Chain A
Amino acid sequence: MTTEPEKKPKERIGVYVCHCGTNIAGIVDVADVATFAGEQLKESGVVISRDYKFMCSSLGQELIQKDIQEMGLTRVVVAACSPHLHENTFRTACKQADLNPYLCELVSIREQDSWVHTDKVAATEKAKAIVSGGVERVIHNEPLEPLHVPIHPATLVVGGGIAGIQATLEIADAGFPVYLVEREPSIGGHMAQFDKTFPTLDCSACILTPKMVTAGNHPNVKLYSYSEVEKVDGYVGNFTVTIRKKARCVIEKDCTGCGICQEKCPKKVIDDVYEAGLGYRKAVYTPFPQAVPKYPVIDKVNCTYFQKGTCKACEKFCPTNAIDFTQEDEIITVQVGNIILATGYDLFDARRISQYGYGRLANVYTNLEFERLTNAAGPTNGNIVLRDGMTVPKTVGIVHCVGSRDRNYNNYCSAICCMQSLKFAHLVKERTGATVYQFYIDMRTAYKDYDEFYQRILEEGTLFVRGKVAEVTDAARLPGEEGKLIVQVEDTLVGKQRRIPVDMVILSAGLEPRYDSKEVAHLFGISCSANGWFIERHPKLDPVATMTEGIFIVGCVQGPKDIPASVAQGAAAAARVLGRIQQKEIALEPVRASINQDTCSGCRICNNLCPYNAILFHEDRMVSEVNPALCQGCGTCVAACPAGAISGTVFSNEQIFAQIEGLLMVNFEHVAVAAQG
């Protein structure tokens, strides 16, 4: 039921309209809005209405606190920015002045008004309506206490690349348990595939593998490799995570990692993951010699025994009888308080740009293939050769921005390609002495020591051609082009088309979200941007948290970034999680449903609506009851109850009805005239 407007207002309401510098005041006549609230909303209980330059400043907050104490305000409405930005600020201010924080309402006249409208008169009218909606609503706000939820000290980290490893180690070193889940047989991620890292040219494995080993052996880390998260239940502080540990067909406690099974396995398989399709592995394998954990896995799709029923060579030769063909997937359930997602990126599929010839022209490589080619542990032992396996290239062309900064594919910059391409140029020069061309749109070498590296590559004599490559072809037209790959490019600095014959082309393919990023986002209850990267809580001020409490994102899941940035994010998220664990509990919005036991008719309509099974039915009394520990506060049951017996805090029927009334109080005809004028 809605409430009748009362003759004598029962609340003393203060209204505060923020200028936000010119952000709001530039479009909305804030003084007019404040006057409107003070004069027109008197009947609803507004006793004071002010406008102020920056309400969120300490002076602005003091203004509210002073009024609460001196004027005895019982409700506060702040008209400023989105509640997602400053709701907490103003609630805290009220709390400090001994007003229950939930009696303060922040209404948005910036994101939803001044920033999206251009007509000043209409925007001011809308601001008045929004303020009026807030005033009517706040009357029905109830004093509430935040829900205090204990934080389970364990943390789940999903993805064992460098970002995930860093986060894992930071938390484990602080003395708290971590479950590290990795989809592949070994942790290490993309970084384990690289040979050198820019700009220092550190050996990638040399700096990564110690961290991998530490993570694998750490007493506080439980590593689940070759495993995937299947289900996530619960909420911050108390998630129940179901992990599928895929059958390795190797008994971990017996396996010594000696590698005899891999030696004896007769089945060779092209390694699409670790070797990027350039090399082979066996059907029983560890992706690379330094793999953590050291136990191999049997790839059932390619294993002769699983396909044809005979072979078992690995079993015969295993010195510790650690092979078990009957092993089945294991389902593990763990309790954690926080979750860090570090699931990384996929490489842009260069085949999609058919004019660059990848997959059609043998000597066109992707960046990941080239990483393997230069890696001493790679298929060519680090020799840079063409696909024939012996010819050393004399000229190499490196194409930037493949699938990045291109409206046909991805608009964004993949952030790592410029530096990576410069690194490639250096490695090619160093190992083959070949002439190297860089085909770039813009050189982007921000961050520490990056531009110095660019200068170094310039001095080494790499040739830079500014222009987007139109085509890579093997159709020779001019003398000297026979048997070569010809890069057709417009040199925008010279202003003419060029055809540059080379022996090898490396495509700097961009980074893309994982193919299953949407499903992963849904599994953990977070959002993806239109591109598929996970959305952080705030793009500048909160880059590792998400809108879902207790879920953090680090590394390339949040957007393309290089190793230093991924490590920084991993550590940052760990710091956030550790803070939570140290606090031992977290305060949550008390948005919960409850059922009035006297008016519940026992129809059980609500029972099936709850996705969390939070509603129990008492057979004896024939009434339903909400378990507040399970309720997440969506409010679906509140809306569905035919008897109106369910109420939801913070978003009650009374509050929403009143807000509708308030929003529609402002005279429409005034708007019409204003818009016309």
Chain B
Amino acid sequence: MAENFEPVIIGFTCNWCSYRAADLAGTARVKYPPNIRLIRMMCSGRLDPAFVMKAFANGADGVMITGCHPGECHYLEQNYKALRRYLLLRRTLAQMGIEPGRMKLVWASAAEGVRLADEITKMVEEVRELGPLHWPTLKSGNGHLVALESKPEEVKA
């Protein structure tokens, strides 16, 4: 089973840099594994830690958070706020028994399509090594009906 394991990673992207980097990778036909599914936000600062929890709860094996390089945020400095949340969240996840390697923060400017593709490729391999995430209450791969509504709220408080 393990060798057939194809991880699914949810990637959160910033409208101004990493989403455009993903578009650029596409335009330049840079290849990376199909295991990542991207969500666009206006800024990495929009990342509510509950989004990461929700992704894990619904069956994602990894979460990639991407944003503009420090000092290059379209909204001046909000990527630093994403960085702070990421650091805190990493500790919270560890306490919940989720390996730190399942969540990654990547800075990618709008020009760095190749870099983003490389980071995705790397992360897919790393998460493949870690194997499937066995979230305690998750029964099946289809997480649509699994109710974990209380968890995100606990994290927020």
Contact = CB atoms under 8 A, between A and B. Distances in A.
Nearest to A676: B4
Given A116-B117, A133-B39, A522-B71, A665 B47 contact: no
Interface stretch (A205-213, A260-268, A618-626, A629-637): A629-637
B130 interface: no
A387 interface: no
B11 to A, nearest CB: 9
A282 B4 CA distance: 76
Interface in A196-233: none
A117 B147 CA distance: 33
Nearest to B58: A664
A129 B37 contact: yes
A657 B109 contact: no
A639 B45 contact: yes
Interface string B95-110: 0000000000000011
A116 B81 contact: no
Interface in B136-157: 141-145, 147, 149, 156-157
Contact of B42 (A1, A133, A535, A651): A651
Interface stretch (A374-382, A500-508, A525-533): A525-533
Nearest to B38: A112
Contacts of A129: 37
B156 A634 contact: no
Nearest to B1: A672
Contacts of A82: 23, 26
A84 B23 contact: yes
Nearest to B59: A664
Contact of A547 (B41, B77, B110, B157): B110
Nearest to B43: A634
Contact of A118 (B31, B48, B55, B109): B31
A648 interface: yes
Contacts of A659: 39
B81 A636 contact: yes
B34 A122 contact: yes
Interface string A106-127: 0010111101111100110110
Contact of A675 (B6, B49, B145): B6
A529 B32 CA distance: 21
B22 interface: yes
Contact of A119 (B34, B50, B74): B34
Contacts of B47: 639
A563 interface: no
Interface residues of B, number: 62
B111 A634 contact: no
Contacts of B60: 660, 664
A444 to B, nearest CB: 23
Nearest to B30: A116
Interface centre among B29, B31, B78 (most CB of A within 10 A): B78
Interface string A636-649: 10111010100010
A80 interface: no
A656 interface: yes
A657 B34 contact: no
B123 interface: no
A530 B109 CA distance: 9
A657 B4 contact: no
A609 interface: yes
A123 B145 contact: no
A110 B22 CA distance: 11
B39 A634 contact: no
A122 B34 CA distance: 6
Nearest to A525: B74
A668 interface: yes
A634 B27 contact: no
A650 B10 CA distance: 19
Given A664-B55, A673-B4, A530 B81 contact: no
A458 B127 CA distance: 62
A82 B25 CA distance: 12
28 contacts: A111-B27, A115-B27, A116-B29, A126-B37, A133-B37, A522-B72, A527-B16, A527-B17, A527-B110, A547-B20, A634-B46, A634-B75, A636-B78, A639-B45, A639-B47, A639-B49, A639-B85, A640-B81, A648-B46, A651-B42, A656-B41, A659-B39, A663-B39, A664-B143, A668-B8, A672-B5, A675-B6, A676-B4
Interface of A: 1-2, 4-5, 82-84, 108, 110-113, 115-119, 122-123, 125-126, 129-130, 133, 522, 525, 527-530, 535, 547-548, 591, 609, 611-612, 632-636, 638-640, 642, 644, 648, 650-651, 653, 656-657, 659-661, 663-665, 667-669, 671-673, 675-676
Interface of B: 4-6, 8, 10, 16-17, 19-20, 22-23, 25-27, 29-34, 37-43, 45-51, 54-55, 58-60, 71-72, 74-78, 81, 85, 109-112, 117, 141-145, 147, 149, 156-157
Given A642-B157, A657-B54, A661-B54, 13 more contacts: A82-B23, A108-B23, A525-B74, A609-B45, A611-B75, A636-B45, A639-B46, A657-B51, A659-B39, A660-B51, A664-B37, A672-B5, A675-B6
- A-B complex: 8 closest residue pairs judged by Cβ atoms: A111-B26, A635-B46, A636-B45, A634-B75, A634-B43, A611-B76, A639-B48, A115-B26
